[in-house]
Structure 1
Amino acid sequence: MAGVTAMTVQLNRMDRVSPWGFRLQGGRDFRMALSVKKVEPRSPADGQLHSGDAILAIDGYDASQMTHAQAQQMIRNSGNTLQLTVNKGLFQSLKPTGPIKFSPAAAYGYSHGHSTF
């Protein structure tokens, strides 16, 4: 894809209880690349990440084959500094277009490929 370049962003927070301020979507188990779904205003992620950013690496580890849960765990274990390598604006946020008739994930208590940090 022409004009798309990877860049590294570093997020910092005051303590491990404070949220990073972004919502993650995707993962190998959802058959879609990890990406940023939403960014909360006035959060550590605000101005650094944007909806649609593709996540290529988490703290230096290749994220291309990570499941959603693996990515979640890496982000949770990152302490007060999180380094993400991203392609800016590569993906769009997924939104349902109609009623969900059946969701195996809901039946088993899993998320729909989204996590808030």
Structure 2
Amino acid sequence: MAAPHTVMLQRRGHEPWGFRLQGGRDFRMELSVKKIMPGSPAEGQLHQGDVIMSIGQHRAHDLTHMQAQQLIKNAGSSLQLGIQAGANADFANIKPKGPIKFSPWRQR
């Protein structure tokens, strides 16, 4: 797993940051990135499954989902996040080779 690092996102005006958050102390889950929107400030900076270790100067471990959302929403034009690459980041670019031999959907 990659070492923790800092990501600095920049946006114009009230443009959305472009990522969806999941987890929080109230969900008993670490805060992480659920989804990235194409063409957003988060694209290329954050990845699905990245764990958010901090938002600005606040440790994310101590934050509820709502508190984290408010910090992100109120960040202004720049947002500093401490990130730990998610476990699935190492497998994000793996694609199957050859024909797919099974499908989760049964045909009738």
- Fold shared, TM-score > 0.5 on shorter chain: yes
Mark the CA change 1:74 to 1:6 in structure 2 (over 3 Å): closer, same or farther. same
**Which ranges in structure 2 are unaligned for 5 or more consecutive residues?**
90-108
Tell me what 2:36 maps to.
39
**Structure number with bigger Rg:** 2
Q: Match for 1:9: what amino acid?
A: V
Q: Hey, which of these two has a bigger chunk of helix by percent?
A: 2
Q: Distance in 1 between matches of 2:4 and 2:57?
A: 13
Equivalenced residue count is 89
Please, what is the CA RMSD of the aligned residues? 1.4
Tell me what 1:110 maps to.
none
TM-score (normalizing by structure 1): 0.72
1:64-91 CA distance string (max 9 Å, x none): 1100000001001100100000001236
Tell me what 1:11 maps to.
9
Tell me what 2:64 maps to.
67
Residue in structure 2 matching 1:84, options 81, 86, 90: 81
Q: Distance in 2 between matches of 1:91 and 1:58?
A: 22
